[in-house]
Amino acid sequence: MAIGRTFKESLQKCLRSLEIGRSGLGGDGKPWRIGTEVYGDRDILPRDVISRKLSVPNAERIFFIRHALRAGFTIEEIFNLTKIDRWFLVQIKEIVDFEEELAGAKN
């Protein structure tokens, strides 16, 4: 059950509770396998791969929103591909931005 005080907290708890080996939206250091390709967690994925994964609803779509934001997609571009409400996309962007801040502080 993903109960939290904010949407961001609830989303992260929800993704951890899926029991798929992920620790939330991302930043856990685990690789991503897409077809025959393997990408590191902090790698920037190709835009065409991200666009393809976002345009069709699938179980991994939420994770590819993170990849899209890290690859420089705008909220509007992601909205046009997914039709996910912009409010939710902004909330996810704030999680990704904080991940980037933490990754920068680590180095």
Per-residue pLDDT of the chain (107 residues; tens, 9 = 90+): 557 899 999 999 999 888 888 888 987 888 988 889 999 989 999 999 999 999 999 989 999 999 999 999 999 999 999 999 999 999 999 999 999 998 888 66
CATH topology of domain 7-106: Carbamoyl Phosphate Synthetase; Chain A, domain 4 (1.10.1030)
In this prediction, residue 67 carries a pLDDT of 96
Domain residue ranges in the chain: 7-106
Any idea what the Cα angle at residue 61 is, between residues 57 and 11, rounded to 5°? 120
The 10 Å Cβ neighbour count of residue 60 is: 13
What are 94's two structure tokens?
């704030």
